[in-house]
Amino acid sequence: MRSFRFWPRSLQGQMLLAIALALLVAQSIGAALVWRAQVERSESSIAHALAFRIIGGALRSEGMDMDRRDARRVLRALRRGDEGPHPMRLVRGEDSGRIDDERDADLEERLAEILAAQSVEIAELEVFRRPVKEDPVAARSVARRLERDIGDPGPPRTVIVAAARLEAGDGWLIARTFDPPRDRGLGGSLILQTILIYVLLVGAVALLLRRITGPMSALTRRVEQFARDPTLPPDGQVAPQGPLDTRRLINAHNRMESRIGALLDEKDVMLGAIGHDLKTPLAALRVRIESVEDDAEREALVRTISDITNTLDDILSLARVGRPSDPVETTELSALVIGVVEEYEDMGENVELGDTQRVVLPLRATWVRRAMRNLVSNAVRYAGGAYVCTAKRDNQAIVRVEDEGPGIPENEIAFMMEPFQRGDPSRNRGTGGAGIGLTLARAIAEQHGGTLTLSNRTDGKTGLIAEIALPLEPKEKPRGRG
């Protein structure tokens, strides 16, 4: 629909346009029918007038074999057809009198039919139109009429001439009638009528639509706000209004909103409980492990506990990512990234810090730190090391984590960010992780209005590049706490 610049996009606009178009089409068809009926009537009355004259002439001429009674009946029958406003005398001539006027095949046919029906046998028939001033007989008639000053809508401009050569006689019978002027007001009145109906209809429809679209747009605004932030207080809900259908929609939406809010609250409570119920025994286990004598065994157990804890944290975070409880704060990103790199340095991992640029933007530090850790952990796990840098580009802050691992086949890249996908299809715990890390990193990037993109290196080496881009200006105004 983009190609039509004036195509209205709202319900109201489309409805009004549709009504206008439908009305125009209906009125046009009506007008065409009226016009055709009028033309038909006028042609037929002209044909009858001409036939009346010719038959009259034929009856008077010699050799016409018809008794008086018949003749009177015929004339009476013909008189029923409208004779036309200005009868002109029948003329007899040696030829049809046509010079270069165009013949009217339609009228000829009609006239021939009428004459045939009255058993007047015609050898030749010519019907044509010509301007009054080029026809001496018609011009005289008009002049006479003007003298008599008949109250009339102006003199006719065209005369129709019918010339017939009878089978029985010699010479031509030439009848004339004026071409009655057509009703020119038809088009204008039609347009006026259309406009009038349109204005009335549009007024009624617009009133009705207002009652529908007003509440609808209030509801749309509310849904948009709610989609952005499902923690909105319920007192901002749209009051049911408008026609019954709209009211029911609003009521249904409000119920759904309350239900979603309740579910989210329930989820938070549940996650808190899960966190508590799992982390306390994990802590107990962690303490007991300290008494394991064998160093290697103890190390392995500690690593397992820490893997479980990390996965648990990822799952809990992913479940909460849409409803963060901590506020957005203006933060320097590179210090955050450097801090994460240093954590890995402390663990003896091969994580290298590249160029960093100071970038200040509003963010939730605990979340961004978690996303960074997940990307770096991934690189360390699958490639044995990572190279991290930050930059500012196109009004975005960029954090880039590169590795020199095997990379990911291009067709699996999108797939990798779905939960519980791992590069290694064996799902071997040896390569660690439940495969939720990238999903969470992406969710965190999106929580900040940014993106996470994965791509293979194109600089000749193999390896994966994970890039988080965060907007420097928040897309939505950060609301204080909560």
Partner 1 sequence: MAAAPSSAGSNGPDRVLLVDDEKALREPLAAYLTKQGFAVREAESAAMARSMLRSEPADLVLLDIMMPGEDGLSLCRHLVEAKGTPVILLTARGEATDRIVGLEIGADDYVVKPFEPRELVARIRSVLRRSARAETAPALEQDYGFENWRLDPLKRRLTDPAGAIVAISSAEFRLLKAFLDHPRQVLDRDRLLDMVQGREAHLFDRSVDNAISRLRRKVEDDRSDPQLILTVRGGGYMLAADVTRLDPVPAEAAE
The residue (of 259 and 288) whose beta carbon lies closer to partner 1 is: 288
Minimum distance between the CB of residue 268 and partner 1, rounded to whole angstroms? 11
Composition of the chain by helix, strand, coil, percent to 5: 55, 15, 30
Minimum distance between the CB of residue 388 and partner 1, rounded to whole angstroms? 13
Q: Count of CB atoms within 10 A of residue 98's CB?
A: 16
User: Would you give the distance in Å from CA 421 to the centre of its chain?
Assistant: 38
Nearest to 333 by CA among 385, 383, 379, 393: 393
Place of tokens 């709202």: 10
The residue (of 67 and 290) whose beta carbon lies closer to partner 1 is: 290
Minimum distance between the CB of residue 366 and partner 1, rounded to whole angstroms? 5
Alpha helix ranges (H) inside 321-436: 333-346, 365-383, 413-416
Minimum distance between the CB of residue 332 and partner 1, rounded to whole angstroms? 5
The residue (of 88 and 359) whose beta carbon lies closer to partner 1 is: 359
The residue (of 148 and 477) whose beta carbon lies closer to partner 1 is: 477
The residue (of 153 and 348) whose beta carbon lies closer to partner 1 is: 348
363: part of which helix (H) or strand (E)? strand 360-363
The residue (of 162 and 368) whose beta carbon lies closer to partner 1 is: 368
DSSP state at residue 103 = B
The residue (of 329 and 418) whose beta carbon lies closer to partner 1 is: 329
Minimum distance between the CB of residue 252 and partner 1, rounded to whole angstroms? 35
Minimum distance between the CB of residue 218 and partner 1, rounded to whole angstroms? 30
Burial of 259 (0-12, 13-18, 19+ CB in 10 A): exposed
User: Would you give the distance in Å from CA 275 to the centre of its chain?
Assistant: 48
The residue (of 189 and 325) whose beta carbon lies closer to partner 1 is: 325
Minimum distance between the CB of residue 301 and partner 1, rounded to whole angstroms? 12
User: Would you give the distance in Å from CA 323 to the centre of its chain?
Assistant: 34
Minimum distance between the CB of residue 360 and partner 1, rounded to whole angstroms? 4
Q: Give dist(CA 303, CA 285) in Å, integer.
A: 12
Minimum distance between the CB of residue 236 and partner 1, rounded to whole angstroms? 21
CA atoms within 13 A on the CB side of 64: 23
Structural contact between residues 49 and 82, judged by C-beta atoms closer than 8 angstroms: yes
Place of tokens 């691992």: 405
Q: Is 119 left (phi over 0), alpha (psi -120 to 50) or beta?
A: left
The residue (of 291 and 426) whose beta carbon lies closer to partner 1 is: 291
User: Would you give the distance in Å from CA 270 to the centre of its chain?
Assistant: 44
- The CA dihedral of 116, 117, 119, 123, to the nearest 10 degrees, is -10
Minimum distance between the CB of residue 354 and partner 1, rounded to whole angstroms? 13
Q: Which residues contact 367 (CB under 8 A, 6 or more apart)?
A: 317, 321, 324, 326, 444, 447, 448
The residue (of 20 and 282) whose beta carbon lies closer to partner 1 is: 282
The site for partner 1 (CB under 8 A) is made up of 272, 275-276, 279-288, 290-291, 305, 309, 313, 325-327, 329-332, 335-336, 338-339, 342-343, 346, 360, 365-366, 369, 478, 480-481
